[in-house]
Amino acid sequence: MLRRTFLAAVGRAVPGASAAILLPSIADAGQALSKARLIARSARPEDLETPVHLLTSWITPNDLFYVRSHFYTPSIEPGAWTLRIDGDVDHPIELTLGDIRRLPSTTRVVTLECAGNGRALFDPPVAGVQWERGAVGTAAWTGVRLADVLRRAGVRASARYLWLDGADRGMGRAPDFVRSLPIDKAMQTDTVLAYEMNGEVLPMAHGFPLRAMVPGWEGAYSVKWLTHIQASAQDHDGPFVQAGYRYPRRPIPPGTLVPASETVPLRALPVKSLITSPANNASVDGATVRISGFAWAGEEDVARVDVSTDGGRTWSPARLGRDRARYAWRQFEHVWRPAGSGSYLVLSRATDRRGESQPIIGEWNPAGYAWNAIDRVRIDVGA
């Protein structure tokens, strides 16, 4: 706590603080974060899922925030780190952390969700990290607007995509993780390069010292450990753009493949809800049961959440929490009076402002992306 306060004081009271004073402390804070309560889907590289019953607040604490890394976490020497911006720009530039911290800062509360969240729920099963329901979280991200940085480099009208690359490297012969961000989304004022997460220096696992935060879109656009932005008239031709993070153009039979030419890139997250309390398979007592969780809808606002305790025969509107931000989830709560003891299936269904609702069955696709079926927990209500 003391160190946190100290860092905050140094970072804010001395905006022009020299790199020599600021950076060793940043490096130190970038390392330390205990993720002991998360479920390791893979220990190295780190793919860590949040047990959803621990998601109790609108803002997810850093030590509970899920981690998705394709490759080993790179080691970063903050004094040597730079961000290069080149390609279709008038003046290629290279910025230090100090340069970036001196630009006007902005803070956005954004929900980040992995495209593969819920993959383990698809039937037939699909290969990939077997995320259940907890590859999602919400944080306050502080940094600079990507558009401000692009303007400094004089991004040209011919640029249609930004190729975002981080300091991590493919393992063995695996290709580098590079993502391609359409220029319109990059220029929106809500798209930021973040160096703080919930008021702390961005933790190592989450992309220290700088990551993209592309709000409302599936998590893989939010490239961590960012070192290079290349503006281009063309889409990137690497496998994380041309093969991964794509979805069938038309619905396909479950268990079949689809050629890449019949797929489109995933972008905005679909409408979705998550019951966090009671926990799945929990036993509860008492005359009332508080059913609560979160709902989000990518670039749309959540309009309502309904809860059913009778297998979807009847639905009751949940109350939405007051905390809100353009690209952040809403908390919901419904107080239920069970008619008697027994085993119950509790369902939640969110609807966005366009009227899109969650489907009963998740739409099967070969990589198991964008699971957004009506959420469910089984609970045992005691006498």
Ligand X SMILES: Nc1nc2c(c(=O)[nH]1)N[C@H]1C(S)=C(S)[C@@H](COP(=O)(O)O)O[C@H]1N2
Residues in region 268-297 near Mo ion by CB under 5 A? none
Residue 112: contacted member of Mo ion, ligand X, none (CB under 5 to 8 Å, by partner type): ligand X
SS3 35: coil
Letter string b/e over residues 156-175, b meaning 16 or more CB atoms within 10 A of that residue's CB? eeebebbbbbbbbeeeeeee
Alpha helices, H only, 182-294: 183-187, 239-242
Question: What's the closest the beta carbon of residue 349 comes to ligand X, in angstroms?
Answer: 24
Size of the site for Mo ion (CB under 5 A): 4
Question: What's the closest the beta carbon of residue 114 comes to Mo ion, in angstroms?
Answer: 3
Our CB check for Mo ion shows the closer of 114 and 374 to be 114
What CA–CA distance (Å, rounded) separates 270 from 272?
A: 6
Question: By the criterion CB under 6 A, which residues form the site for ligand X?
Answer: 65-70, 112, 114, 166, 168, 177, 206, 219-220, 222-225
What CA–CA distance (Å, rounded) separates 148 from 369?
A: 32
For CA atoms 361, 367, 371, 376, the dihedral sign is positive
Residues in region 130-189 near Mo ion by CB under 5 A? none
Question: What's the closest the beta carbon of residue 368 comes to ligand X, in angstroms?
Answer: 13
Type of residue numbered 295: A
Our CB check for ligand X shows the closer of 142 and 351 to be 142
What CA–CA distance (Å, rounded) separates 6 from 11?
A: 8
Question: What's the closest the beta carbon of residue 66 comes to ligand X, in angstroms?
Answer: 5
Question: What's the closest the beta carbon of residue 276 comes to ligand X, in angstroms?
Answer: 17
Residue 222: contacted member of ligand X, Mo ion, none (CB under 5 to 8 Å, by partner type): ligand X
Our CB check for ligand X shows the closer of 135 and 305 to be 135
Residue from 68, 145, 211, 246 binding Mo ion (CB under 5 A)? 68
Q: Minimal CA–CA distance to 306: which of 348, 369, 365?
A: 348
Our CB check for Mo ion shows the closer of 30 and 219 to be 219
Cis ω before 92 (30° cut-off from 0): no
Q: Which is it for strands 136-145 and 47-49: parallel, antiparallel or unpaired?
A: unpaired
Question: What's the closest the beta carbon of residue 113 comes to ligand X, in angstroms?
Answer: 7
Check residue 219 for interaction with Mo ion (CB under 5 A). Answer: yes
Check residue 119 for interaction with Mo ion (CB under 5 A). Answer: no
Write the CA distances from 3 to 32, 98, 210, integer angstroms: 12, 20, 20
The residues, ordered by sequence, that sit 6+ positions from 314 with a Cβ below 8 Å of its Cβ are: 308
Check residue 114 for interaction with Mo ion (CB under 5 A). Answer: yes
Residue 362: contacted member of ligand X, Mo ion, none (CB under 5 to 8 Å, by partner type): none
Our CB check for ligand X shows the closer of 64 and 346 to be 64
Our CB check for Mo ion shows the closer of 135 and 204 to be 135
Interacting residue ranges for Mo ion, rule: CB under 5 A: 68, 114, 219-220
